[in-house]
Structure 1
Amino acid sequence: MNTAGNHPARVLVMEADKGRAAELSSRLRYLKYEPVVANDADSIKQLAADNSIAVMLGDTTVGGELERAAKELMASRPELPVLVTDNDSSRSEFFGNCEPWHLDSPIRRSQLSYLLKRAERFEGCEKRQRLTGNSTTIRKVRELIERVAEFNTNVLVTGESGTGKELVARTVHDLSLRADKPFVPINCGAIPAELLESELFGHEKGAFTGAVSRRVGRFELAEGGTLFLDEIGDMTLDMQVKLLRVLQERTFERVGSNQSRNCNVRIVAATHRDLRAMVADGSFREDLFYRLNVFPIEMPPLCKRRSDLPQLLEELLLQQGGAHGTLRLSSAAFDALARYPWPGNIRELGNLVERLAIMHPEGEIDLDDLPQKYRDGQLPAADGSCSPPKNLPDDVNLKDYLQLVERELIEKALARCDGVVARAARELNMQRTTLLEKIGKYAIK
């Protein structure tokens, strides 16, 4: 934030009511900020180009020219932190692509101070990663992130693969008081079990064959910041015990050392698996689950937030357009993508846009430019066939045969969906609980 010459950071106050504006200004002065009141459209337009403004504090009940000017300001500067003094969710469209930070009513001094300090850390960032969309589900996710960010609470992010769980973790970190410290991610499912302990805690020289030098682990690298444990559901039971001990005692030892080291890290974990079911079948420790699941955040699949698709496509097309030229979709192409179920979620959408940007760097992307499965607006046909054979034995038992076919369909759906029950249930057009019952019935692993 621009505090050169010991001048306080400036805060734009948008408020049509002069009495309310004076009250907000008084609160800001008490916290050593300089309020700049804008109670008409001309003053907002004049201040829009003033880069010394740190944050905009606004009451969304303003109307007329003032409201229109405020919308224009937020459209031109989407990176500008916006604090609002009401919680009227029906006015979410007012903010466009900005992500408002809601103040409690009545305003708490501690919360206002925290949010203004958070805004200072964003100063100078032309563009930051954000959760795109205004659907009810994604607004709820943003609200949960804002609620938990200022605390050191462990967070567990759940959701299907490709939904953006790491972006949630990064946003929690960026909005926290640890934002100026490291954010260190590690994919627990991508590292062999025998190497994960060394990756997390580090090792001493000679600790094992191949340990030719001392190595610092992720816990030490993340000191003071946030450690993101992705795919925590893939961690072995032995490793779960060691992680639990660190979370309980806040100390650890490098592999090959008996010297305890204190650690000050915030844990954000993520998984696409059903950890409650894993606790029930004994493949995930119950005590570790409760340590991690202090504040759960569930990322919805793309098929449950279809209203966000236009914004997501717009952002992805702009990103790819910067590298590969101007990109745009025809209405027919967009309609086809809107019908598609997106089993790979936002990751699949991003990969498709990148492919289209390479294949069609200029001009409009039409329906015929899309791969076949997107033109059809449906999933590709499953491999193999479960149609009955033309010649059945005379003594066939219909009940047994139908169960055999049902089991085969379930196994193939689970294989296509990487074992994610929720995705397989949608593909089979049945309730998740029903599918779990059938998995148990047929002892499918």
Structure 2
Amino acid sequence: MKPSILIVDDDEVMQQTLSDVLKKKGYEIFSVGAGNGALSIIKKNIIDLVLLDMRLPDVDGIEVLKKIKEFDTEILVIMMTAYSDVQTAVSAMKSGAYHYINKPFELEELKLLIEKGLETKSLINEVRRLHRQQKEEFQNSHIHGVSPQIQYVKELIGMISKTHKTSVLIQGESGTGKELAANAIHYNSKRGNKPLMKINCSAIPDSLLESELFGYEKGAFTDAKNTKKGLFELADGGTVFLDEIGDMKPFLQSKILRVLENQTFMRVGGERELRVDVRIIAATNKNLEALVREGSFRKDLYYRLKVMVIEMPPLRERVEDILLLSNLFIEENNREHNKSIRGFSEEAKKLLTQYHWPGNVRELKNVIERAMILTDQDFITHKQLPFELRQTVGFDRAVSGPELAEITEEMSLDHMEKIHLTKVLKNLEWNKSKASKILGISRATLRAKIKKYGLSDH
């Protein structure tokens, strides 16, 4: 979205000149010759910056400035004045002006002032976004569960949070809540009001990962037109969370080891050492010990990281937490989707607790969200749960009825096929596309067999 600029000046030549110059720079331009007209435009459009003349035919420029700030404090205002009056400039700055410029001025000077102003606004918005994000993460840093495994994890997090710089290695399968544990450690520690910077080591190409972590100096490579701070600098005083560290290449592992040991590093293309104060939390779903034996992960880094190790248990090992978490997800989705689902049918509860959950808590959350969207009843039943859950051992026979008898030696091949077809179609709620894929036959063949055996969904 292009930044938008409003020019407020009763000099039509000035208006036109500034409009032409700034449009060439790619800005969206509005222009008006009076103060009241400016306020009208601001109320109808999203304006990022105002170039406001101090002397207007209807209202004093300072009064217009005050009214702009009353309407929206985030709009930047640059005052333009033909009078080099220090007192007036001070009054404008006190009333909330971003800057002022004396007429006549050089267009390059004004362009530079506008660029700096919009850059400042962009940085302020980014800081606010990060603060909102951190507030949300703080609110989502609570780990729920009553199982002995998760209680132990919570106790361990409580002890680690009391330490200042101890590095932590969080291990566990995908979807077990490793990032949640990192959030809990950070926000319950004395570093909680400082930045928590996160990066997924497997999601960023090796060539970019180094500059993301450590930053770079101007001219370090072709596109390095300005110096950029990396995550470690931005996290100074706080925490860096390195997710999927098992995928990090050895040349970067040595640099991480250096930060762990000395709290120092150099930007890409830099010659001076930078010192930071950070806690490093690393997470992986891989067996780092096996990677060390294979030679793909540094032994010294492994031992330096595993000062404190948290093992996040898979959901299948904390069965008593499944329904508790499921009900929490129902509450979340009720708020988000404006629903009032009260819980689960007994059949649905049985399926949820018997399923092995290879995707762990993340999979459970997605399953509940899907079921909430599909149901318009007070309770989620087995019908709203995915096919893989309904294949739980012992469930088919419980819900299929006596007509789906066990296959015996005396049955003919046709009889066996009829039983199997009936079972698959019933479990899939007669979704023929899914059934044909599972059975490995075309839809036309499936229709022919349904007709052959006289099957019906009634």
TM above 0.5 = yes
Which of residues 335, 340, 343 in structure 2 aligns to 1:326? Answer: 340
Which of residues 274, 283, 304 in structure 2 aligns to 1:261? Answer: 274
Q: Is 1:238 aligned to 2:254, yes or no?
A: no
Which of residues 364, 367, 371 in structure 1 aligns to 2:382? Answer: 367
Partner SS state of residue 229, structure 1: strand
Which of residues 93, 116, 130 in structure 1 aligns to 2:142? Answer: 130
The answer (yes or no) to whether the contact 2:323–2:352 under 8 Å persists in 1 is no
CA 1:269–1:210 in structure 2 vs 1: closer, same or farther (change >3 Å)?
A: same
Q: Is 1:176 aligned to 2:189, yes or no?
A: yes
Note the C-alpha offset of 1:362.
5.0
Aligned residue in 1 for 2:351: 336
The answer (yes or no) to whether the contact 1:337–1:377 under 8 Å persists in 2 is no
Note the C-alpha offset of 1:128.
4.8
**Partners of 1:361 and 1:238 in 2: how far apart?**
54
**Partners of 2:193 and 2:139 in 1: how far apart?**
17
Report matched runs for 1:285-296 at 5 Å.
285-296=298-309
TM-score by length of 2: 0.54
Q: Is 1:317 aligned to 2:330, yes or no?
A: yes
Note the C-alpha offset of 1:361.
5.3
The answer (yes or no) to whether the contact 2:141–2:187 under 8 Å persists in 1 is no
**Partners of 1:212 and 1:323 in 2: how far apart?**
43
The answer (yes or no) to whether the contact 1:250–1:262 under 8 Å persists in 2 is yes
Which of residues 155, 168, 184 in structure 2 aligns to 1:143? Answer: 155
Report matched runs for 1:6-405 at 5 Å.
128-151=140-163, 152-324=165-337, 325-327=339-341, 328-360=343-375, 363-377=378-392
Q: CA RMSD in A?
A: 1.8
The answer (yes or no) to whether the contact 2:199–2:243 under 8 Å persists in 1 is yes
Whichever residue aligns with residue 231 of structure 1, its letter is E
**Partners of 1:274 and 1:289 in 2: how far apart?**
11
Note the C-alpha offset of 1:132.
0.7
Whichever residue aligns with residue 353 of structure 2, its letter is A
The answer (yes or no) to whether the contact 1:163–1:299 under 8 Å persists in 2 is yes
TM-score by length of 1: 0.55
Structure 1 unmatched ranges of 5 or more: 1-124, 379-445
**Partners of 1:351 and 1:316 in 2: how far apart?**
9
Whichever residue aligns with residue 136 of structure 1, its letter is P
CA 1:212–1:329 in structure 2 vs 1: closer, same or farther (change >3 Å)?
A: farther
Partner SS state of residue 372, structure 1: coil
**Partners of 1:287 and 1:127 in 2: how far apart?**
35
The answer (yes or no) to whether the contact 1:326–1:361 under 8 Å persists in 2 is no
Whichever residue aligns with residue 367 of structure 1, its letter is H
Query: How big is each residue's C-alpha offset from its partner over 1:310-366, in whole Å with a ceiling of 9 and x where there is no partner?
Result: 111111111111111122221111111111100000011111112222222553211
Query: How big is each residue's C-alpha offset from its partner over 1:98-139, in whole Å with a ceiling of 9 and x where there is no partner?
Result: xxxxxxxxxxxxxxxxxxxxxxxxxxx995531111100000
Q: Percent identity?
A: 48
Whichever residue aligns with residue 382 of structure 2, its letter is L
Q: State which structure, 1 or 2, has the greater radius of gyration over its C-alpha atoms.
A: 2
